[in-house]
Chains A and B, each alone.
Chain A
Amino acid sequence: MSAVARLITPRAAAIVVALLLLLTLPAWVGNPYYINIASQILFFAVFALALNVLVGYGGLVSLGHAGLFAMAGYTAALLLARGHGHLVADTAALAVTVVTAAVYALLSLRSTGIGFLMITLAIGQILWGIAYRWASLTNGDNGVNVASRPSPFGFSLAGADGFYYLCLVVFLVCVATMAVVVRSPFGASLRGTRDQERRMSALGYNVWLIRFYAFLLSGFWSGVAGLLFLYYNQFISPQIVALTTSAETLLMVISGGTATLLGPIVGAAIVVIMKNVVSAYIVRWNMVLGIIFILIISFMPEGLVPGSARLWAWLRHRWGAGKAQPAAKTGEDGA
């Protein structure tokens, strides 16, 4: 078998096909409405991947990430409204979001489990309160408008196609970053703190600091997703800081499969499609979304991606379509 043939594994082939489909999506979708939905899937996937750093790899369930998502959006929007350029506004937005993530971490990493969840929820609600009630700064319920999207290197992002490609580039960089980090010693350490916190300390790891850095990484990518959200809508309001956003993102991660790269992306696609497409045909789309989540959790409690891998392995074993293999364990990283 030649070296090239050895490189073409089913996994590599699937990645190449997915990349080709993503790169050519505007050409074969055509309708700007659906291209915009694809953009939404991509930036919500970035947000879900950011949350997955904590939920999946760190075992820390946050219900306050909407605060980080919105912090970037609000910071950029307010700076743009005061006449600053996109570069300054976006850089400052990411810096402020990372600092906010550090504050989140300092407060919430005093605890794990339900305590961590409640502290992140409380901080998220405080930020929602600020966005909603501090009207002199945030314009309250009326939100903040952004006049235009940036044009990096003269590349227009005004249209659906241009913005989609920006989202795609950011999404691919995010996925690549996550893939590298989770396979790194730092990623291994983070997962170790999730599985055996006590043992990790005894082995010489600084569990708190590992989680702190993970929080910063998660905060950074939440901020990136928040900026894309801002430019997509060219508007931001307290609605996006609400608990619903945090809960929906958490559902994206859990339904797709925690501690996998593909899971949060699939979860983001499900939620965005349900919200934007199915809602056009079914008034009670929320109920359909709820039913879907109940089915996923009932039949694939590990999430759609690892669950599908397990189902596929079982089917192959049962029908003897290939070599008998044990069921996939968790699908961690591999997916």
Chain B
Amino acid sequence: MMALQVSELQKSFEGLNVTRRVNLAVEAGERRLIIGPNGAGKTTLFNLITGEIAPDGGSIGLFGDDITRTSVRARAHLGMARTYQIITLFGRDTLLRNVMLALLGLCPRRWNPLIDFERQQDLVEKAEAALARVGLAHLAHRPLAETSYGERRRVEIAMALAQNPRVLLLDEPFAGLSIDERRDVQKLLLAIPRDVTMVMIEHNMDVALEFAEKITLLHFGEVIVEGTRAEVVANPRTREVYLGH
């Protein structure tokens, strides 16, 4: 079954086509890597898939349901989670509270104005478990502002994983990380079970290639190469526009 089915997706900004008839079929449980030079339209494609940008044409399917016109928040409730290239976390809060907010987003309790948020023991425990999963349990009560860039990247992933997504979109999760941090995040991503389908944008080919089962190469908003890791790496077009000669 296709977890994610993007068909003929199009988007232009003021006449500039940033997504040109993109087709993408990601099977359930698959690990898909999206690569391409800067400006290829990778993040725009993610924004279209998550609904942050409305497409000009085409359709998006999630496990067989057409979600093209579904709101961003509803897509989250349908099992889609993402991380951002530019970290977007809650800087005034602790790591624990950041993850609790992620959990609360899918919980009907989010509308309750009468109970104490921080005393929701089930949310606290789940958030602690999510932080433990990314190796940050010991920093749960530290304000986010007092953490390193690499730790924040891991909080992003913890927040996404806490929501138990069916499809996880990772936008450059290795960007700005040290070699050690990269190794930790790589280990973390490889340990995510197969019931989570993952699509990742990444420039760092050393770590990304190990993750990928299939690779899609975007160039000027168009899919120009797609296939298995070996096929894409061997393709002359990949070398021409992305990997270099």
Contacts and interface: CB of A to CB of B under 8 A. Distances in A.
B113 A187 contact: yes
B116 A195 contact: no
A271 to B, nearest CB: 27
B205 interface: no
A189 B110 CA distance: 7
A184 B114 contact: yes
B148 interface: no
Contacts, number: 91
A196 B88 contact: yes
Interface stretch (A94-102, A200-208, A285-293, A311-319): A200-208
Interface string B76-95: 11000110100011111000
A181 B114 CA distance: 6
Interface string A179-190: 011011111110
B120 A185 contact: yes
Contacts of A56: none
Nearest to B50: A202
B116 A198 contact: no
Contacts of B88: 196, 198-199
Q: Main SS of chain A's interface residues? A: helix
Interface in A205-235: 205-207, 213
A73 interface: no
Given A202-B76, A204-B106, A329-B143, A184 B115 contact: yes
Most B CB within 10 A of own CB, among A183, A185, A198, A207: A185
A238 interface: no
B76 A181 contact: no
Interface stretch (B59-67, B97-105, B234-242): B97-105
B220 interface: no
Q: How many of chain B's residues touch chain A, expressed as a range?
A: 35 or more
B145 interface: yes
B92 A181 contact: no
A202 B163 CA distance: 11
Interface in A296-335: 329-330, 332
Contacts of A332: 92
Interface in B164-203: none
B117 interface: yes
Interface residues of A, number: 27
Contacts of B120: 185
A197 to B, nearest CB: 9
A192 interface: yes
Most A CB within 10 A of own CB, among B72, B81, B107, B143: B72
A332 B159 CA distance: 23
A77 to B, nearest CB: 31
B56 interface: no
A205 B112 contact: no
Contacts of B111: 185-186, 189, 213
B210 interface: no
Nearest to A190: B113
Given A192-B90, A196-B89, A203-B76, A180 B105 contact: no
B125 interface: no
B80 to A, nearest CB: 9
B118 interface: yes
Interface in B33-85: 50, 52, 71-73, 76-77, 81-82, 84
Contact of A187 (B81, B117, B143): B117
A195 B113 CA distance: 19
B89 A199 contact: yes
A188 B76 CA distance: 18
Given A203-B102, A204-B76, A204-B106, A184 B90 contact: no
A57 B145 CA distance: 19
B141 interface: no
A188 B104 contact: yes
A45 B234 CA distance: 70
A329 B50 contact: no
B92 A204 contact: no
Contacts of A198: 52, 88
Contacts of B72: 201-202
Contact of A206 (B73, B102, B159): B73
A329 B145 contact: yes
A180 B145 CA distance: 26
A192 B113 contact: no
Interface string B219-235: 00000000000000000
Contact of A188 (B106, B117, B145): B117
Contacts of A188: 97, 100-101, 104, 117
Contacts of B115: 184-185
B73 A180 contact: no
Nearest to B78: A204
Interface of A: 180-181, 183-189, 191-192, 195-196, 198-207, 213, 329-330, 332
6 contacts: A184-B114, A186-B112, A201-B71, A202-B72, A203-B73, A332-B92
Given A189-B101, A196-B88, A199-B84, 4 more contacts: A199-B88, A199-B89, A199-B90, A329-B145
10 tightest A-B CB contacts, nearest first: A203-B105, A204-B76, A204-B105, A186-B113, A201-B72, A199-B88, A188-B117, A184-B113, A185-B117, A181-B113
